[in-house]
Amino acid sequence: MLLYSTLLVFHTFLFPHGDLDRRINDCSQLITQFPDSLSLYADRGELYLQHEDFDLAREDFSYCLSKGFQNANVLEGLSRSMVATPTLDSALLFINLSLDKDSSSFSAIEWKAHLLFLLHNFCESAEGYEGLIRLLPNPSPTLYLDASNAWVNCSGPGNIGNAIAIIKSGMDRIGALHVLQKELIRLYVDQKDYKGALIEQSLWIDRATYKASPLLERARIYLLAGERDLAQIDLENALIELSKLPPYKQGVPGMVELKERIEHLLTQLKG
């Protein structure tokens, strides 16, 4: 009983702290002391995954399975450990087995969607991401981007529309974040829907504190739409915005490069 209590203390309080290498070493020492504790092997496998030691992680998770320890976390860990191997089909098999045991695991649902994308099952991947987004109380912007990317790669009519729709739904739900708005603009431009792209880019400019860069981007969209005069106005306004910055900011390498790009495009237009 004393040994079991000691194991629980270590198991509960050791792993949230310290650097990863030390945590792996500490876990290995515990395994030496308690070689029959399969949960320790599973914990070390998780640490190996974080350390991207996939072969070692796979050894620990496989050992757990060989001893009959086959809970959802072990099966998911084994699936994740296979990502750097040619056996993605096996990774998909094990994540399905994990979901059979715990169909509500958000991490497993996301991992399956990612695997489907890697296996070029883009439509199923997109549906998986969208299903996860509906389940989560606070989905991250990355999930919306991943879902959109999967729809873009999914062959079939209307899937670009699905990509646009999921990004819009993300903006409605978690806010018009720049990363989502930028993706929406890119999708509009790819579809040659310059009107939609210009509307979103103009909204971005209205919210931006520093407007020179988004003005340059809108000028490029105007050029694609054949509106050279409006593009020139935006470029001239972008230079004005840069001139309003304090001298020390104007001298920052990024700002110098931005000014050169604006001037180069403006020269091409006027030439």
Question: Tens digits of per-residue pLDDT, 177-197?
Answer: 999 999 999 999 999 999 999
CB 228 within 8 A of CB 222: yes
Q: Where in the chain is the domain with CATH 1.25.40.10?
A: 1-95
What is the rounded CA–CA span in Å between residue 236 and residue 238?
Answer: 5
1-95: what fold? 1.25.40
Identify the pLDDT of residue 84: 74
Q: How far is CA 138 from CA 106, 114, 135, 142, 193, in A?
A: 12, 19, 9, 12, 30
Angle between helices 106-118 and 72-81 (to 10 degrees): 30
What is the rounded CA–CA span in Å between residue 212 and residue 150?
Answer: 32
H/E element, 167: helix 159-174
Rounded mean pLDDT of 17-43? 90
Report the predicted TM-score, pTM, of the whole model to 2 decimal places.
0.84
Written out in words, the top-level CATH class of the domain with range 104-186 is mainly alpha
Q: CATH number for the 193-271 domain, one of 2.40.160, 1.20.272, 1.20.58, 1.25.40?
A: 1.25.40
Question: Tens digits of per-residue pLDDT, 187-242?
Answer: 999 999 999 999 999 999 999 999 999 999 999 999 999 999 999 999 999 999 99
